[in-house]
Amino acid sequence: MSRVRGLLFDLDGVLIDSLPSIAACMNHALERLGRASLATEMFRPLIGPPLEDSAMLLLGTSDPAQVAAFVAMYRERYAATCVAETLPAPGLREVLGELSQRWPLALATSKPEVFARQLLDGFAVGDYFMRGGIYGRSLALDSEDKAAVIARALVMLGGADGLVMIGDRKHDVIGAAAHGIPTIGVLHGMGAREELEEAGAKWICDDLWGLPTLLAEIDRGEADLA
């Protein structure tokens, strides 16, 4: 009996390597605001949470006007460069193609949905999400968390039963757990094994290539599904 009914994917760090793109855009915003730029690796921990949360950390203030200015400058550059400066995760098309033949795939990201669609289409994988849908934030600065994004996906997917989340940060694990969805944490993204395990990831996978085998085991009941 099949135990898995559908898959929810995070985007940044799971399906794409967005560190170079996001770092360049954050530095662009910092420089425009008269702040010093930072080394690319300094931005790694900021990939995953809502952008305005990262802006507050980088600016050292929660002043709405400054945060809004940072976000506007970031997005101006990101909209024009995100596809060119982002790399697909190894195995992206092959693995999604294989998994989509067996289960509906959905995307749940804290990135604005307009950018998520731009990236998926840019890497020619948007069609793999036709059955499950693509769900992201609006452009509003409301710090909407991952659980709220997932909640919208569940309306289309018909509830949480039988779903598995695939993410790379604690925000993915915690957001999915709010709906009773277990998570596979992948190690090729932005979060370390320790972060994922402490957040409660049920399984750990090295990269996208390992997902088909692991999910088949979960589906057969050989890897326990919560």
Phi, psi values for residue 7, rounded to 5° = -125, 135
With b for 16 or more beta-carbon neighbours within 10 A and e for fewer, the 183-192 pattern comes to: bbbbebbbbe
Residues 84, 11 contacting (CB under 8 angstroms): no
The sign one gets for the Cα dihedral 164, 118, 188, 211 is: positive
What are residue 106's DSSP bridge partners?
8, 133
Amino acid identity of residue 132, one-letter, is G
Catalytic residue among 10, 12, 17, 172, which? 10
Distance CA 109, CA 151 (A): 12
- Concerning whether 10 is annotated as a catalytic residue, the answer is yes
Contacts of 181 (CB under 8 A, 6+ apart): 8, 150, 160, 163, 164, 165
C-alpha separations of 181 from 106, 128, 137, 175 in Å = 14, 21, 20, 9
Catalytic residues: 10
